[in-house]
């Protein structure tokens, strides 16, 4: 690596000549609010960079410029990492000060250049890994909205465990909330990757490693009523925390559940619903695959006020159909599938 990574954990390992042995996942944390007129464009700039770096975790803290209906205290408190007055849109990657920076002490950047963000993601991809982290044994009880899970990991290289913490966030997709923009208010704007709640303490739980180098943390958490569990994931960050030194808050590793909470349902009747169907990917961009447990006869796509956008008769007794959504404007849609066993509707997000 020819770039200087200005974090304690990276420089220490590089000085030792140690290379990565375990997969490390970078996390980009964006600061954005519904009142920020430049934030929709900022989202597009970040998305362009992340699209070229698959596997990067993307979180959006609704803080930095006023507050909105999604803002939580944990996101507001995290703005201490600016080191000065907060603003939006802004971002940080692994809470780390990159080699090219506005200041020598803050990991937070203004969102203005996809190429710069991509370069910083490349820089962080070269940082060695200190610890693994994984979320397992995840169960969601639909009746009580309670989530249980085990977060575990193993130290792969020596580092300062005295300032190491684990933060777990509840992250929600597909939140429809009016958004300011440079061309006016967007009433049906779809907010993605929103940090909806903090499962742990705001600045994380102190992480204790056993003599064999492993750690284990048990999650027992109730999803708040404001969140739609079928759009929520858990995200876990292992990171340093030092409130008095902004360069000592780096994220060592991160992970997220690969599906929404409701796909891990426990304590309810899991017998198949023949009228139900799945859509993927969701969010989607150009195409959406519909797969049902019944023969599909017709698919209707409507907007959120009930206006029909498209209708598709499905021939040949198929239980699958590929929707072409390239002409759809970004937003939230209702997909209704009718077949031999009944009719069912799901929400689909088109995001570009």
- DSSP state string for 80-127: GGGSS---SSEEEETT---SS-SSSS---EES--HHHHHHHHHHHHTS
Distance between CA atoms of residues 218 and 111, nearest Å: 36
The two three-digit tokens of residue 48, written as one number: 């362009």
Give the residue ranges of the chain where pLDDT is below 50: 1-21, 266-274
pLDDT at residue 103, as a whole number:
54
Rounded distance between C-alpha atoms, residue 250 and residue 162, angstroms: 14
pLDDT value for 101: 54
CA dihedral 58, 62, 63, 68 (to 10 degrees): 170
Between strands 146-154 and 190-191, the pairing is unpaired
The architecture (CATH level 2) of 277-350 comes to Sandwich (2.60)
pLDDT at residue number 276:
65
The per-residue pLDDT of the chain, averaged, comes to 86
Q: For CATH 2.60.40.10, list the domain ranges present in the chain.
A: 8-264
Q: Global pTM?
A: 0.74
Each residue of 329-342: pLDDT tens digit?
988 888 888 887 77
The confidence score (pLDDT) of residue 272 equals: 41
- 8-264: which CATH topology? Immunoglobulin-like (2.60.40)
What is the number of other CB atoms lying within 10 angstroms of the CB of residue 206? 13
Q: Where in the chain is the domain with CATH 2.60.40.3080?
A: 277-350
DSSP string covering 297-310, please? EEEEEEETTS-EEE
């Amino acid at each position: 690596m020819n770039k200087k990574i200005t974090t304690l954990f990276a420089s220490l390992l590089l000085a030792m000549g140690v290379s990565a042995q375990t997969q490390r996942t970078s996390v980009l944390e964006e600061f954005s609010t519904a009142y920020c007129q430049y934030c929709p464009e900022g989202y597009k700039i970040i998305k362009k960079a992340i699209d070229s770096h698959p596997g990067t975790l993307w979180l959006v803290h609704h803080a930095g410029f006023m507050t909105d209906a999604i803002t939580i205290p944990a996101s507001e408190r995290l703005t201490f990492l600016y080191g000065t007055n907060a603003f939006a849109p802004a971002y940080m990657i692994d809470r780390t000060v990159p080699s090219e920076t506005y200041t020598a002490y803050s990991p937070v950047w203004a969102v203005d250049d996809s190429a710069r963000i991509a370069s910083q993601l490349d820089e962080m991809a070269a940082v060695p890994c200190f610890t693994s982290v994984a979320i397992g044994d995840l169960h969601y009880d639909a009746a009580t909205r309670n989530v249980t899970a085990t977060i575990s990991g193993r130290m792969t290289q020596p580092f300062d465990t005295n300032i190491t913490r684990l933060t777990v966030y509840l992250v929600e997709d597909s939140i429809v909330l009016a958004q300011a923009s440079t061309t006016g208010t967007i009433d049906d704007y779809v907010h993605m990757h929103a940090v909806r709640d903090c499962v742990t303490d705001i600045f994380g739980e102190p992480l204790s490693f056993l003599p064999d180098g492993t750690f284990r943390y048990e999650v027992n958490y109730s999803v708040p009523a404001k969140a739609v569990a079928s759009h929520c994931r858990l995200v876990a960050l292992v990171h340093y925390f030092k409130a008095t030194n902004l360069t000592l808050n780096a994220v060592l590793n991160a992970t997220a559940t690969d599906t929404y909470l409701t796909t891990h349902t426990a304590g309810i009747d899991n017998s198949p619903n023949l009228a139900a169907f799945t859509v993927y990917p969701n969010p989607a961009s150009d195409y959406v695959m519909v797969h049902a447990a019944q023969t599909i006869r017709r698919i209707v796509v409507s907007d959120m006020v009930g206006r029909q956008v498209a209708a598709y008769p499905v021939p040949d007794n198929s239980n699958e159909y590929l929707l072409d959504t390239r002409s759809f404007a970004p937003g939230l849609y209702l997909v209704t599938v009718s077949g031999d066993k009944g009719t069912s509707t799901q929400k689909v997000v088109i995001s570009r």
